[in-house]
């Protein structure tokens, strides 16, 4: 006899596990199926984000930043450290234990919220009277019957054609988070978010890192003033970044990887490295889901097709997160998961794609929300811009980290904030204020009038808002 549930969620990444918890909070009977396992076969819910994404990358970024500070910046504070050493196995082991705590945290949350968890692969078997028959295969073998199904099966790294990941020499994010030794020379293909974050980790730990990017502009998705500043700072830190390249046929031997490429001027080049990270984007993951069995429609790139409410072409089948259109971000997946659970329960929830923040956790951090100057110009929107440098911020000076600035773009007529772009210390935390203001459709003047604690980095946000009206107080 199949076990019956109001909602079965397939995938326990940030989209799936959050949807499951929210649906359970709303009084529905909920099951969540997830296939991810630890090396010894135990369940590892949390998806890409917890296991090989957001969490482990931030753990390594933190550790490597400490190492960099101890090596290069403690002296400025009068702290003498002699013989700074690196125990990579401890550093990577700490990252693994942070991941484990998060896996266990999600299992605890499932128990607390009475979500039934199945460890295995979930697939559509058929549409039967009253709902969807879902098979679980693997560690748990079960037949489930669901009134509603939420597909949250996430994404997988995109490989270069003809160059599969072996996770030893040719690394996806997975292998790049678990190297056993610091490479002398590390190549990175793709100067996107993963390339810059993980490239920074291994550079700080001592690798000579070269990043090869196909697009002519560096960080084309960011505001170009921010991108220019970032390129300057990263280059000064030692990342070698080439844009406008065309990658040739990569050759791998037991010892090294050779990457032939044509540079922006058209000259043939060759890069020899110990390891190569390929971070050229991710593809939606629907393997093993039984898409064809039930006719779940995918677009030409393999994303599950959904409408604005995350409804698929099948009745009572929803899809959220990386497996559907929109930015591949954990917080976007979570918001969609919550909204779908609430819609199933009859509420009219909404996800505002215009206020989803983006963050790159390099040093300095980069964060933005809303539209950038290039976009506003293309759209012909009349805007005012106000910037404030961290160099003029007291807290940033005290921290010893004055790189970057906050830039606010506001509507020329109404003063409504249209976009906020930050490069600088703790940009990831500072951006929340901008998101809040934009959610309430506030004006630059609103930020300027809000009392910000002194001395804080957030005062740079207030000053940038004052700059929109050309009345900064500290610059």
Residue 15 near ligand FAD by CB under 6 A: yes
Residue 103 near ligand FAD by CB under 6 A: no
Q: Which two tokens stand for residue 48?
A: 């890409």
Other residues' Cβ atoms within 10 Å of the Cβ of residue 470: 8
Q: How far is the CB of 326 from ligand FAD (least distance, A)?
A: 10
Query: H or E element: which one contains 441?
Result: none
Cis preceding-peptide flag for 279 (omega within 30 of 0):
no
Other residues' Cβ atoms within 10 Å of the Cβ of residue 237: 15
47 binding partner (options ligand NAI, ligand FAD, none; Cβ < 5 to 8 Å by kind): ligand FAD
d(CA 292, CA 366): 41
Q: How far is the CB of 65 from ligand FAD (least distance, A)?
A: 15
189 binding partner (options ligand NAI, ligand FAD, none; Cβ < 5 to 8 Å by kind): ligand NAI
Q: Which residue is nearest to ligand NAI (CB)?
A: 192
Q: How far is the CB of 41 from ligand FAD (least distance, A)?
A: 14
16 binding partner (options ligand NAI, ligand FAD, none; Cβ < 5 to 8 Å by kind): ligand FAD
Three-point CA angle 366, 370, 372, nearest 5°: 70
- Number of residues written out for the chain: 475
d(CA 255, CA 27): 57
Residue 422 near ligand NAI by CB under 6 A: no
Stretch that binds ligand FAD, among 42-50, 96-104, 142-150, 205-213 (CB under 6 A): 42-50
Residue 190 near ligand NAI by CB under 6 A: yes
Q: Is 12 in contact with 117 (CB distance < 8 Å)?
A: yes
Residue 329 near ligand FAD by CB under 6 A: yes
Residue 16 near ligand FAD by CB under 6 A: yes
Q: Choose, by CB under 6 A, the member of 98, 214, 231, 412 that binds ligand NAI.
A: 214
Residue 359 near ligand NAI by CB under 6 A: yes
Nearest of 249, 247, 254, 261 to residue 275 by alpha carbon: 254
Which residue do the tokens 């010893």 mark? 400
285 annotated active-site: no
Q: Is 188 in contact with 173 (CB distance < 8 Å)?
A: no
Q: Is 15 in contact with 337 (CB distance < 8 Å)?
A: yes
Taking CA atoms, 64 is separated from 61, 82, 86, 197, 425, in Å, by 5, 18, 10, 11, 16
Q: Would you tell me which residues interact with ligand NAI (CB under 6 A)?
A: 189-195, 197, 212-215, 247, 279-282, 327-329, 359-361
Residue numbers in the known binding site for FAD are 58, 122, 153-155, 322, 328-331
What are the catalytic residues?
454
Q: Would you tell me which residues interact with ligand FAD (CB under 6 A)?
A: 10-16, 33-36, 47-49, 53-54, 57, 121-123, 152-155, 173, 194, 285, 288-289, 321-323, 328-331, 333
């Amino acid at each position: 006899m199949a076990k019956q549930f109001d909602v079965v969620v397939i995938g326990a990444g940030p989209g799936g596990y959050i949807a499951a918890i929210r649906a359970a909070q709303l009084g529905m009977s909920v099951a969540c199926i997830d296939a991810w396992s630890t090396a010894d076969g135990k369940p590892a819910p949390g998806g890409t984000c917890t296991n090989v994404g957001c969490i482990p990358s931030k753990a390594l970024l933190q550790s490597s930043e400490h190492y960099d500070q101890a090596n290069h910046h403690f002296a400025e504070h009068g702290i003498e450290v002699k013989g700074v050493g690196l125990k990579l196995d401890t550093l990577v082991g700490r990252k693994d234990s942070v991941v484990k705590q998060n896996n266990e945290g999600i299992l605890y949350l499932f128990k607390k919220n009475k979500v039934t968890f199945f460890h295995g692969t979930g697939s559509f078997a058929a549409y039967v009277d009253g709902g969807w028959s879902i098979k679980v295969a693997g560690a748990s073998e079960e037949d489930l019957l669901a009134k509603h199904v939420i597909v949250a099966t996430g994404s997988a790294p995109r490989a270069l054609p003809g160059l599969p990941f072996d996770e030893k020499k040719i690394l996806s994010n997975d292998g790049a988070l678990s190297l056993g030794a610091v490479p002398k020379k590390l190549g990175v293909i793709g100067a996107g978010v993963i390339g810059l974050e993980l490239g920074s980790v291994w550079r700080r730990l001592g690798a000579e890192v070269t990043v090869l990017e196909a697009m002519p502009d560096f960080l084309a998705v960011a505001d170009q003033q921010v991108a220019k500043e970032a390129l300057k700072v990263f280059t000064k830190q030692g990342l070698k970044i080439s844009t406008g390249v065309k990658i040739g046929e990569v050759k791998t031997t037991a010892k090294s990887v050779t990457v032939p490429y044509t540079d922006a001027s058209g000259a043939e080049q060759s890069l020899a490295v110990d390891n190569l990270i390929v971070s050229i984007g991710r593809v939606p993951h629907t393997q093993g889901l039984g898409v064809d069995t039930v006719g779940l429609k995918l677009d030409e790139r393999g994303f599950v097709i959904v409408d604005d409410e995350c409804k698929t072409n099948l009745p009572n089948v929803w899809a959220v997160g990386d497996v559907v259109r929109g930015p591949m971000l954990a917080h976007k997946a979570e918001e969609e998961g919550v909204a779908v659970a609430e819609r199933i329960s009859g509420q009219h929830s909404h996800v505002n794609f215009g206020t989803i923040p983006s963050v790159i956790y390099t040093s300095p951090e980069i964060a933005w929300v809303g539209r950038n100057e290039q976009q506003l110009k293309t759209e012909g929107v009349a805007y005012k811009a106000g910037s404030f440098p961290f160099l003029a911020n007291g807290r940033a000076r005290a921290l010893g980290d004055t790189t970057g600035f906050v830039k606010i773009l506001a509507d020329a007529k109404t003063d409504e904030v249209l976009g906020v772009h930050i490069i600088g210390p703790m940009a990831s935390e500072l951006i929340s204020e901008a998101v809040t203001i934009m959610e309430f459709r506030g004006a630059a003047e609103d930020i300027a009038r809000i009392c910000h604690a002194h001395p804080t980095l957030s005062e740079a946000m207030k000053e940038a808002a004052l700059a929109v009206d050309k009345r900064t107080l500290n610059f």
